[in-house]
Amino acid sequence: MASAPASWTALRSFMQESCGVLLGEDQHYLMEARLAPVAKTLNYPTVEEYVSEACRPGAPKSMTSPLVDAMTTHETSFFRDGPFWRAFQDLVLPKLGVFEPGNTRPLKIWSAACSTGQEPYSLLMFLDERFPSLAERTQIVATDVAEGVVEQASRGTFSVFEVNRGVSAPRLLKHFERDGGNFRIKEKHRRRITWQPQNLITGWPPMEGLDVALVRNVLIYFPEATRALVLKKVRAALRPGGFLGVGSTELIAGAAVSPGWYPAR
């Protein structure tokens, strides 16, 4: 087996230090596959030269942001994991007290590592279908470390392939409009989401009093110490009685009310 180039070692260190992502020693094939288009766009003759420049201390954001965008995983889909959504309706929302008579306070949700936006948009479609008055007072902050991905998500435009992953025909008609050969989610959903780049490792958003924080399918990319730190900070942003949502196969300390759902503590 060919040894990994020195630039791969530099890239692994940069990704872990800058955004907590732990790349495996044997995954160096990803560097060429994911960064070749970036290096070409930025006029670097080789990927190794681009990585060397981008991973040096003090490299400008214009150089590092495309690298982080390319090297982070953005796998997602609409309404990912059906049981997770059923538990949100049947267990989490009632425990949050959102259906109590006279309760008109906003439902505050943070979708961390939101990728291209399918998770926060799924939330709003879900609430709009079942509890429209609650959807009207729902406030969502959606963040991701990849700035280009956040910008893409904010536009709410998805290809036929993307909407076919989780969006039924009735939902497509109800919540989307045609945008050339693509589909764009309707403005009433887009306006309820605040989008912002956010690094879970090196910075922290000024959020508190959240009802729900979703950090799904991202903890698996962090080493154990980083995972524990992120969870501690996320839980601190939840109000008493709030809920943390993680991937259904991600096991963390504490008793779950359902796979993927944990009460604040």
Tokens of 153: 């998500």
CATH value at residue 195: 3.40.50.150
Q: Which residue has the tokens 């956040």?
A: 150
Per-residue pLDDT reduced to its tens digit, 68-94: 989 987 878 999 998 999 999 999 999
- My answer on whether 144 and 238 are in the same domain is yes
The answer as to whether 62 is a domain residue is yes
The residue from 16, 38, 71 where one domain ends is 71
- My answer on whether 207 and 126 are in the same domain is yes
- Domains contained in the chain, number: 2
Per-residue pLDDT reduced to its tens digit, 5-26: 788 999 999 999 888 888 888 8
pLDDT of residue 46: 94
Confidence class for position 205, pLDDT limits 50, 70, 90: low
Per-residue pLDDT reduced to its tens digit, 96-127: 999 888 888 999 999 998 999 999 999 999 99
- Distance from chain centroid for Cα 13: 22
pLDDT of residue 1: 43
Tokens of 253: 């300390």
Look at residue 54 and tell me whether its pLDDT is greater than 50. Answer: yes
Per-residue pLDDT reduced to its tens digit, 241-265: 999 999 887 878 888 899 899 998 7
The answer as to whether 77 is a domain residue is no
pLDDT of residue 47: 94
- My answer on whether 49 and 90 are in the same domain is no
- My answer on whether 230 and 109 are in the same domain is yes
Give the Cα separation of 256 and 87 in Å (integer). 11
- My answer on whether 108 and 188 are in the same domain is yes
Question: Of residues 193 and 206, which shows the higher confidence score?
Answer: 193
- My answer on whether 29 and 147 are in the same domain is no
- My answer on whether 10 and 87 are in the same domain is no
pLDDT of residue 219: 87
The residue from 48, 71, 94 where one domain ends is 71
Please state, for a pLDDT cut of 90, what percent of the chain lies above it: 65
Residue 97, domain extent: 82-263
Calculate the average pLDDT of the chain: 91
The answer as to whether 243 is a domain residue is yes
The answer as to whether 86 is a domain residue is yes
The answer as to whether 1 is a domain residue is no
- My answer on whether 174 and 223 are in the same domain is yes
Q: Among 127-131, 185-189, 208-212, 226-230, whose mean pLDDT is lowest? A: 226-230
Between strands 182-185 and 210-214, the pairing is unpaired
- My answer on whether 242 and 113 are in the same domain is yes
Contacts 24+ apart (CB under 8 A), 202-207: 202/18, 202/19, 204/233, 205/110, 205/141, 205/143, 205/237, 207/110, 207/141, 207/237
The answer as to whether 76 is a domain residue is no
The answer as to whether 201 is a domain residue is yes
pLDDT of residue 2: 52
- My answer on whether 52 and 91 are in the same domain is no
The answer as to whether 146 is a domain residue is yes
- My answer on whether 90 and 189 are in the same domain is yes
Contacts 24+ apart (CB under 8 A), 8-12: 8/51, 10/51, 10/52, 10/55, 11/51, 11/55, 11/67, 11/71
- My answer on whether 161 and 233 are in the same domain is yes
The residue from 44, 71, 98 where one domain ends is 71
